[in-house]
Chains A and B, each alone.
Chain A
Amino acid sequence: MKWIPTCRETTKLASRAMDERLPFADRMAMRLHLAICENCTRFNRQLQEMRRLFRSETAADDNAPGLAPEARQRIATEVQNKLGS
């Protein structure tokens, strides 16, 4: 039955659905597949979970390394030059 997409095709639809509203036919096709496929349902949920984790962590993860001393020095010099000019 061609109108039910394969898993591979469904991942494409699920990914695109993360970026824009799918055309009606694609949305229905994806829904049909998800209704019968545990793996793709999981895939779809994990895409959303991944986004949630990426966006919730705000960039201020203070445990991540900061500027290396050499880089800091280099940038300080550039800033000095700019301020002095």
Chain B
Amino acid sequence: MNMLDARTWLADHGDYLFRVARRQLHSDELAEDAVQETLLAAIEAQARYAGDASPRTWLTGILKHKIVDLIRRQMREAEIPREEDGEEAVDSLFKQDGHWAEPLRPWGNPQTEAELSQLRRVLDECADRLKPVMAQVFSLREVAGLETEEICKELNITPTNCWVLLHRARLFMRQCLELNGFSKAGAA
């Protein structure tokens, strides 16, 4: 049985929760809100803590919901990109006849921890550069691993809109990664 002591949560898990949230929300401010709301909700829910998960795992579970809440709230304020918006950016990647405008370069095959850590930094930086809602839908799918169906339902967008956002996000991410050091002689 793990013991809960709300007074040590921030010190013990604050940075961890912040990093998890930051990677999915792409904003320091929103990630700070997510940590705060998680801790406050956890204090209220303490009595229901069963003690079979570690406090960190338990808190991370609460955080997941708070992240989705925050994205949903943000979507109400920010404008959801419509399907036809942003297609020009995709146009630049392809020729008129639908072929790639530029050949795709192969990615390197990183092995060492240092190389991998460098790539992770590039991954996060590229994801930060996506437009807000697109970045968050992308992260819910690729980082948090939610099913698209769940994402649509939680954020109240149509599956088509979801696929369009994900498709564009992936095209831009791939290009950003190629331009920022992913492509090297080697496999992939």
Question: In this complex, what residue of B is CB-closest to A41?
Answer: B104
Contact call B119/A53, Cβ cutoff below 8 A: yes
Contact call A67/B6, Cβ cutoff below 8 A: no
Interface presence of B123 (CB below 8 A): yes
Which residues of the other chain, B, contact A11 by a CB distance below 8 angstroms? 167, 170-171
Contact call A47/B170, Cβ cutoff below 8 A: yes
One of A39, A42, A59, A63 near B117 (C-beta < 8 A): A63
A67 and B35 contact, Cβ closer than 8 Å, known pairs A42-B106, A53-B120:
yes
CA distance A83 to B39 in the complex (A): 11
One of B14, B104, B141 near A75 (C-beta < 8 A): B14
Which residues of the other chain, A, contact B22 by a CB distance below 8 angstroms? 64-65
One of A6, A53, A61, A76 near B99 (C-beta < 8 A): A6
In the complex, chain B residues 153-188 whose Cβ is within 8 Å of any chain A Cβ = 163, 166-167, 170-171, 173-174, 177, 188
Contact call A7/B99, Cβ cutoff below 8 A: yes
B residues within 8 Å of A by Cβ? 6-7, 9-10, 14-16, 18-20, 22-23, 28, 32, 35-36, 39-40, 43, 90, 94, 97-100, 103-104, 106-107, 116-117, 119-120, 123-124, 141-143, 145, 147-148, 163, 166-167, 170-171, 173-174, 177, 188
Q: Can you list 29 A-B pairs, Cβ within 8 angstroms, ordered by A?
A: A7-B98, A8-B98, A11-B170, A15-B163, A15-B166, A19-B148, A19-B163, A45-B188, A46-B107, A47-B170, A49-B188, A50-B142, A50-B177, A54-B142, A55-B145, A60-B16, A61-B120, A63-B117, A65-B22, A66-B14, A66-B15, A67-B14, A68-B28, A68-B32, A71-B18, A71-B28, A75-B35, A76-B10, A79-B7
